[in-house]
């Protein structure tokens, strides 16, 4: 086939070129495909000067060529290549050949020989470099062929001694991408080649050397670009899975002091790779007899690079340090070590001083000048100013001028601290210091890092103090990250708890919007440290042994904060409740009800516990609830035919049970809701079908019809909810949902057929329905066996008849199939979660209307948490409903979404409201919408099929599902004053 086409290509262009006049127009039309290459040929022949030729080539490179005609095109190009005098045109031709060889389904082996031949005549270095690049493309297309690879490598070695750096670069790149260690080791080994004069890349040399040593020769090339390329080629070899020899380590280390930053940067990577390959081998320390592990040695060397002159290298080095987890602890801890000295006397760092003050139990006075005065005299010979090795690498990195370096250093600290608890302890001070960085990004990053390692550490009081100082930061992100951090922190003393509470309350008064976050933070703080909270309780609740103290205001957020802390501590500390006063208990029951997510159930002495509370605590309840769910579904599955008596009652009861279960058991809420909704769909369907209307004459059943139509519509809506509101659905469930939807649509079809006269409107509806059945079949081929007995199963049995029959017939078939089809059982997937959205801000409690001048806009701050929403940036929208029925849907910016945890998203955005003037304040409704489009699903299913089969979106439905409670906001647009 290909050969045949090739012939046609040749025929075609030669005819077009030589006999343009005599060409019959009919033939031209027939051969549309190869005409492109022919056109190129004409163009290139026509081109009088290099600029024109370049233009043609450029425009040609933009269009795509079919795989069959590539070879022909390449021949044409090469023909021109040999004729062409101008370097730039030849260069472009070479690059176009490279581009062409990437064409899908084209085997570039066929053009390899031709391409290689060009090397014999080429004189221009630039063109040579480009040709090598083309070879690289060809080579990477043919990874399986050793013969090709061998030839390419030979070419590369031959040109390694070129004087132009670009050629050497490309050769090295080629060697890196294609070179192989074993293929080039000559068996008879050494001695056969005359020593000395022959250049390492010379034709004879390659016989005895393997690719690695050839490449490593160029580590000392005179051109920094070539040196970089050599290191990169070596790294490429490593990436391809070849084992790099340890002998290269010394050379790589020497390159760390290269004059050029790109070389140093690549060398850092190289040294790192070697340290990962040979972590345990031993290397000598120069100028001493000691030896260290290679990974330690390289760690020291890379640490040194953190104080390099170029920030690119510093970033690279700092990043790399984070990946060296095998390093020994004493080296690791050196990175944080910086011996201080003042006037030749040893001085303690502020960190050490703080620690000492803490351990000695004395609080820092900080009032005396020179209380940090240096003490002991330093032995001058022992002070090592450029400490070799890792000394103080992170101290430097964290103080760097460029925030990129600081960020990389913080990341590296995090990685290392997570692998070593003692290091985590040590780096704490430094991370805490970073909370004070001038760039918010770095501050935020260090808070996150501290949170990640906080399982390893306990904060000292002075450290906590510094951490808490950041609570006053005006940036909301910082504060929230800090709250998150405090949730996971361990503290050591009760003073710490007190301090934290105090600062959090301060935060609360300064930024009241942080309310929820602060409460949540205190919930964890209390839950983690019950014993530390216990001695504080009387003080916190301001109880007095003899006197009754005034009852605090229940609506005071600060008081609630204190209660949240106490109640959560009391959960695991039963003696605490004895300290509560009466009103505390009352407040407990109130809060337990209103803020149940923050206040845990407590065992209160002498109090009857609410039954609801009883059901929830107790750890076994999840399993029992699960069992209950399974049983309910089992019971339902016994229904074979929905027409059975009692089936409806059973469904009704099960739906009720499941709904209640969902309310009680948060873990199973998703599954319970999902099945309840599904069952409700079934119930509705049954009811609609059971009506007597089907036996009645058409004109009599208008009223009943209305009911059935409503049911069909509702089922449709519910199926969309089922499909898009729940995450964790498998293909099987989706099929079931679509099946229900199909049933609903069939019902609609039947109803229209009954109510309308005439056939014309029916024809199009029927066609649409049949299309849907077809697409259902296409989408869920795998699931069809499970649907054997169902509505669709039966329909498909009749499918040949269906497409042929008239609308009237179809309706009849549908009607009987609908009524005969059995109940399709629902299989619950492993994990199923319902997407939920809660608007935290605005709260909807405010009675003060938002006033603004009509016609202008006012910004309303929205703060909402979203759970289990997939891809919220594209799906979540905010809807604003005005009292006059106007509604606006606002798409928040992608940047407004943050992701504080898995499956959790936070939407902090502003919506702009505007309206014409009102006479008095009125409420608008703000709600969250989940947008869906069935196209998403269909595209995923089509992806494995043909690529061109992107059908027009005829079958897609788009819409929105409201989720979460709407919030009402008072607004008052005033008429503009003139």
Binding footprint of another protein on the chain (CB under 8 A): 161, 163, 190-191, 193-200, 202, 213, 217-218, 220-222, 259, 307, 309, 338-344, 347, 349-351, 366-370, 380, 383, 385-386, 392, 395, 398-403, 430, 433-434, 436-439, 466, 469, 472-475, 510
d(CA 56, CA 47): 8
Helix residue ranges per DSSP H, 179-293: 211-217, 224-239, 248-255, 261-277
Beta bridge partners of 909: 862
Q: To the nearest whole angstrom, how small is the minimum distance from the Cβ of residue 220 to another protein?
A: 5
DSSP assigned state of 377: B
Give the chain's end-to-end CA distance (angstroms, integer): 82
H/E element, 59 = helix 50-62
By the 10 Å C-beta count (0-12 exposed, 13-18 middle, 19+ buried), 250 is classed as exposed
Could you tell me which residues come within 8 angstroms of residue 609 by beta carbon, excluding any fewer than 6 positions away? 601, 603
Spatial CA neighbour of 872 closest among 894, 840, 849, 845:
894
Nearer to another protein, 512 or 538 (CB): 512
- Contact between 307 and 276 under an 8 Å Cβ cutoff? The reply is no
CA distance 469 to 465: 6
Q: Which is nearer to another protein, 506 or 687 (CB)?
A: 506
Give me the least distance between CB of 277 and another protein, in Å please: 19
Nearer CB in complex with another protein: 20/191 = 191
Residue 644: count other Cβ atoms within 10 Å of its Cβ.
Answer: 13
Instruction: Report how far apart, in Å, the C-alpha atoms of 490 and of each of 432, 449, 500 are.
Output: 15, 15, 11
Cα 218 to Cα 199, 202, 299, 884, 926, distances in angstroms: 12, 13, 25, 77, 67
Query: Of 350 and 763, which CB lies nearer to another protein in the complex structure?
Result: 350
Q: Cα separation of 447 and 786, whole Å?
A: 52
- Quick one: DSSP state of residue 309? S
Q: For the CB of residue 212, give the shortest distance to another protein in the complex, in Å.
A: 11
Closer of 472 and 495 to another protein (Cβ): 472
Between CA 681 and CA 655 the distance in angstroms is: 11
Min. distance of Cβ 328 from another protein in angstroms? 24
- Whether residue 842 is preceded by a cis peptide bond, meaning omega within 30 degrees of 0, is yes
Q: What CA–CA distance (Å, rounded) separates 905 from 827?
A: 29
Q: Which is nearer to another protein, 402 or 781 (CB)?
A: 402
Compute CA distances 772 → 741, 784, 788, 808, 959, whole Å: 10, 15, 18, 18, 18
Indicate the residue among 164 and 488 with the shorter CB distance to another protein: 164
CB of 325 to another protein, least distance (A): 25
User: CB of 366: closest distance to another protein in angstroms?
Assistant: 7
Report the residue number, 9 or 431, with the smaller CB distance to another protein. Answer: 431
State in angstroms the smallest separation of the CB of 381 from another protein. Answer: 8
User: Of 927, 937, 922, 931, which is closest to residue 958 (Cα–Cα)?
Assistant: 931
Residue among 96 and 268 whose Cβ is closer to another protein? 268
Largest CA distance in the chain: 119
List CB contacts of 947: < 8 A, sequence separation 6 or more: none
Q: Which is nearer to another protein, 212 or 733 (CB)?
A: 212
Question: What is the CA 55 to chain-centroid distance, rounded?
Answer: 42
Min dist CB 363 to another protein, Å, is: 13
CB of 294 to another protein, least distance (A): 19
Nearer to another protein, 185 or 702 (CB): 185
* Nearest-angstrom CA–CA distance, 238 and 274: 9
Least spacing, CB of residue 619 vs another protein, in Å: 44
Nearest approach in angstroms of CB 567 to another protein is: 30
SS3 percent helix, strand, coil of the chain, rounded to 5, is: 60, 10, 30
Neighbour tally for 575: CB within 10 Å: 10
Residues composing the chain: 978
Rounded to the nearest angstrom, the gap between the alpha carbon of residue 133 and the centroid of all alpha carbons in its chain is: 34
Residue among 431 and 712 whose Cβ is closer to another protein? 431
Select 29 or 385, whichever has its Cβ closest to another protein.
385
Cα 865 to chain centroid distance, Å, stands at 18
Of 259 and 948, nearer to another protein (C-beta) is 259
Q: Are 258 and 277 in contact (CB under 8 A)?
A: no
**Residue 573, by phi and psi: left (phi above 0), alpha (psi -120 to 50) or beta?**
beta
Among left, alpha and beta (phi > 0; psi -120 to 50; other), residue 557 is: alpha
Cβ proximity to another protein, 51 vs 342, nearer residue? 342
Is residue 123 within 8 Å of 164, Cβ to Cβ?
no
Alpha helices in 256-328 (DSSP H): 261-277, 294-305, 311-321
Q: Which is nearer to another protein, 377 or 778 (CB)?
A: 377
Report in angstroms how near the CB of residue 665 gets to another protein at its nearest. Answer: 43
CB of 69 to another protein, least distance (A): 40
Residue 495 C-beta: closest distance to another protein, Å: 17
User: Rounded to the nearest whole angstrom, what is the least distance from the CB of residue 194 to another protein in the complex?
Assistant: 8
Chain CA centroid to CA 742, Å = 35
- For the bound state, the minimum distance from the C-beta of residue 53 to another protein, rounded and expressed in Å, comes to 32
Q: What phi, psi does 880 have (nearest 5°)?
A: -120, 125
Nearer to another protein, 441 or 553 (CB): 441
As measured in angstroms, the least distance from the Cβ of 313 to another protein is 12
Q: CA distances (Å), 640 to each of 40, 647, 852, in order?
A: 70, 9, 61
Closest separation in Å from C-beta 357 to another protein: 13
């Amino acid at each position: 086939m290909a050969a045949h086409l090739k012939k046609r290509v040749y025929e075609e262009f030669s005819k077009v070129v030589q006999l343009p006049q005599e060409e019959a127009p009919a033939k031209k039309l027939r051969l549309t495909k190869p005409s492109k290459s022919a056109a190129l040929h004409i163009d290139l022949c026509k081109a009088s000067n290099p600029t024109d030729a370049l233009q043609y080539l450029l425009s040609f490179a933009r269009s795509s060529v079919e795989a069959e005609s590539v070879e022909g095109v390449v021949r044409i190009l090469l023909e021109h290549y040999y004729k062409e005098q101008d370097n730039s045109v030849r260069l472009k031709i070479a690059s176009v050949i490279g581009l062409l060889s990437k064409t899908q389904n084209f085997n570039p082996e066929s053009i390899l020989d031709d391409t290689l031949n060009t090397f014999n005549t080429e004189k221009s270095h630039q063109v040579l470099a480009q040709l090598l690049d083309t070879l690289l493309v060809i080579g990477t297309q043919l990874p399986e062929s050793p013969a090709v690879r061998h030839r390419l490598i030979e070419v590369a070695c031959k040109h390694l001694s070129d004087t132009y750096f670009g050629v050497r670069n490309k050769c090295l790149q080629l060697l890196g991408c294609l070179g192989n260690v074993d293929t080039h080791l000559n068996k008879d080994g050494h001695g056969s080649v005359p020593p000395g004069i022959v250049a390492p890349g010379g034709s004879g040399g390659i016989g005895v050397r393997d690719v690695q040593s050839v490449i490593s020769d160029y580590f000392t090339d005179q051109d920094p670009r070539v040196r970089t390329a050599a290191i990169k080629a070596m790294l490429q070899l490593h990436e391809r899975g070849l084992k790099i020899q340890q002998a290269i380590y010394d050379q790589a280390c020497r390159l760390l002091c290269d004059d050029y930053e790109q070389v140093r940067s690549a060398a850092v990577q190289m040294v790192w790779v070697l340290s990962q390959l040979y972590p345990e081998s031993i290397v000598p320390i120069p100028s001493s007899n000691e030896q260290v592990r290679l990974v330690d040695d390289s760690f020291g060397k890379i640490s040194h690079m953190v104080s390099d002159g170029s920030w690119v290298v510093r970033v690279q080095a700092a990043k790399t340090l984070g990946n060296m987890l095998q390093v020994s602890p004493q080296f690791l801890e050196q990175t944080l070590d910086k011996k201080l000295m003042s006037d030749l006397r040893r001085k303690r760092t502020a960190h050490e001083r703080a620690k000492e003050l803490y351990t000695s139990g004395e609080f820092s006075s900080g009032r005396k000048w020179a209380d940090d005065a240096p003490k002991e005299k330093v032995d001058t010979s022992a002070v090592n100013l450029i400490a070799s090795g890792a000394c103080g690498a992170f101290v430097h990195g964290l103080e760097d001028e460029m925030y990129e370096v600081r960020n990389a250093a913080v990341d590296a600290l995090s990685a290392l601290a997570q692998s070593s608890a003692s290091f985590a302890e040590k780096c704490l001070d430094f991370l805490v210091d970073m909370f004070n960085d001038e760039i918010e990004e770095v501050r935020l990053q260090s808070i996150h890092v501290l949170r990640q390692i906080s399982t390893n550490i306990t904060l000292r009081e002075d450290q906590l103090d510094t951490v808490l100082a950041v609570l006053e930061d005006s940036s909301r992100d910082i504060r929230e990250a800090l709250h998150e951090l405090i949730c996971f922190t361990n503290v050591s003393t009760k003073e710490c708890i007190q301090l934290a509470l105090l600062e959090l309350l301060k935060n609360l008064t300064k930024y009241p919007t942080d309310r929820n976050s602060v409460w949540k933070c205190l919930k964890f703080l209390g839950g983690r440290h019950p014993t530390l909270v216990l001695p504080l309780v009387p003080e916190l609740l301001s109880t007095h042994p003899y006197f009754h103290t005034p009852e605090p205001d229940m609506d005071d957020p600060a008081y609630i904060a204190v209660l949240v802390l106490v109640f959560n501590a009391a959960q695991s500390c039963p003696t605490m409740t004895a300290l509560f006063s009466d009103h505390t208990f009352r407040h407990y029951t109130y809060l337990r009800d209103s803020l149940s997510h923050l206040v845990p159930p407590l065992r209160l002495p002498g109090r009857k516990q609410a039954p609801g509370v009883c059901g929830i605590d107790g750890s076994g309840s999840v399993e029992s609830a699960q069992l209950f769910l399974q049983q309910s579904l089992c019971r339902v599955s016994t229904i074979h035919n929905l027409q059975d008596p009692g089936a409806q009652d059973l469904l009704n009861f099960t739906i009720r049970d499941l709904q209640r279960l969902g309310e009680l058991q948060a873990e199973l809420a998703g599954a319970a809701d999902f099945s309840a909704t599904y069952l409700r769909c079934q119930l509705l369907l049954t009811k609609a079908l059971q009506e007597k209307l089907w036996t009645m004459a058409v004109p009599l059943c208008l009223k009943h019809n209305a009911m059935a139509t409503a049911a069909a519509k509702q089922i449709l809506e519910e199926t969309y909810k089922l499909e898009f509101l729940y995450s964790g659905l498998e293909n099987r469930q989706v099929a079931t949902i679509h099946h229900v939807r199909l049933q609903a649509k069939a019902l609609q079809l039947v109803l229209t057929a009954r109510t309308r006269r005439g056939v014309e409107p029916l024809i199009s509806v029927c066609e649409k329905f049949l299309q849907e059945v077809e697409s259902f079949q296409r989408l869920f081929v795998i699931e069809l066996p499970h649907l054997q007995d169902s509505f669709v199963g039966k329909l498909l049995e009749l499918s040949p008849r269906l497409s042929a029959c008239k609308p009237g017939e179809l309706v009849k078939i549908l009607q009987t199939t609908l009524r005969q089809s059995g109940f399709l059982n629902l299989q619950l997937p492993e994990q199923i979660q319902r997407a939920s959205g809660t608007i935290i801000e605005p709260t909807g409690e405010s009675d003060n209307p938002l006033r603004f001048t009509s016609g202008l806009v006012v910004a309303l701050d929205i703060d909402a948490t979203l759970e289990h929403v997939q891809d919220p940036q594209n799906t979540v929208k905010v809807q604003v409903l005005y009292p006059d029925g106007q509604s606006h849907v606002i798409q928040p910016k992608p940047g407004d979404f943050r992701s504080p945890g898995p499956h959790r998203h936070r939407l902090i955005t502003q919506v702009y409201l505007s309206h014409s003037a009102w006479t008095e304040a009125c409420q608008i409704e703000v709600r969250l919408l989940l947008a869906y489009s069935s196209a998403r699903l269909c595209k995923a299913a089509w992806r494995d099929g043909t690529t061109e089969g992107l059908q027009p979106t005829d079958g897609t439905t788009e819409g929105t599902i409201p989720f979460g409670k709407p919030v009402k906001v008072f607004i008052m647009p005033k008429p503009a004053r003139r």
